[in-house]
Amino acid sequence: MTDASVTDFTDSRAATDALLGALKEGRWRPAAVASFLRLAGHRSVRQAARRPRAVGQTTVLHGLLAALARDRGGRAWVAASWALAVLHLGLLEERGRLSPADTLTLIRGSLPATALGSCRWSGLLAIASDLADGRLARRQGTVSPFGDYADSLADAAFWTWLVLRHEPSRMVRAAALAAWALPVAAVTAVGIRRGAMPERPRPALLRPAAAMQAVVALRHALRR
């Protein structure tokens, strides 16, 4: 597979499946992994270059979040969020800019970097933003793979950080990690093994993570 053949895919899922398929055909050897990373990086850069407005929006948003960061660690968190977002702008598909729902999702993913992430109401705020960005995307017709996967990663990042940083119960921490971190790892492993990107579990409200959000948020809000 060549750089051009991957870049020619206009559909992000088709491109991802092609990359994962090539990785599987190479039997996950070091050379195949290196080729996968090179081709994926090349496509990501090309897709970002085709969406300068989205790159600008992402940069301005994360610049503001960096200004609100608590410390150097918070700024590093924001920088990682910016890099992940810019390298996955191809998932916007036919759109050339971020939607309000996408912006809300990216803000939620960076809450741990700000002082707001540690306030007692941060869990409830995260739940409210999660419900709001989904409703906004559906109402405005801006649902995209970018928003879909950014939503999952933002949830995993925020809630995992919250329980590891502020949850005293080992049982709750273990349950939370099983609800958020394990599904991300499992989906990634299945995609690499099958050579194709799997579907995200649906409906979201039936996933264990939805119940864990309410439990963790309430415990955090009521804890002195």
Question: Which residues partner with 69 through β-bridges?
Answer: 114
How far is it, in rounded angstroms, from Cα 23 to Cα 196? 10
Instruction: Decide: residue 221, CB within 10 A, 0-12 exposed, 13-18 middle, 19+ buried.
Output: middle
Helices assigned H by DSSP within the chain: 3-7, 12-25, 30-49, 52-68, 72-86, 100-109, 122-140, 145-166, 170-194, 208-222
pTM of the model: 0.84
The domains of the chain are located at 99-222
The residue count for the chain = 224
The tens-digit pLDDT sequence of the chain (224 residues) is 544 455 445 567 777 778 788 888 888 888 888 888 888 888 889 999 999 999 999 999 999 999 999 899 999 999 999 999 999 998 898 899 999 999 999 999 999 999 888 899 999 999 999 999 989 998 988 888 899 889 988 998 999 999 999 999 999 999 888 888 777 777 788 888 887 777 665 544 446 678 888 999 999 999 86
Question: Cα–Cα–Cα angle for 137, 100, 201, nearest 5°?
Answer: 40
How far is it, in rounded angstroms, from Cα 112 to Cα 13? 30
119 alpha carbon, distance to own chain's centre:
22
Residues 192/197/202/205 CA torsion (nearest 10 deg): 60
Closest C-alpha to 106, from 40, 59, 67: 59
The encoded tokens of residue 32 equal 């195949």
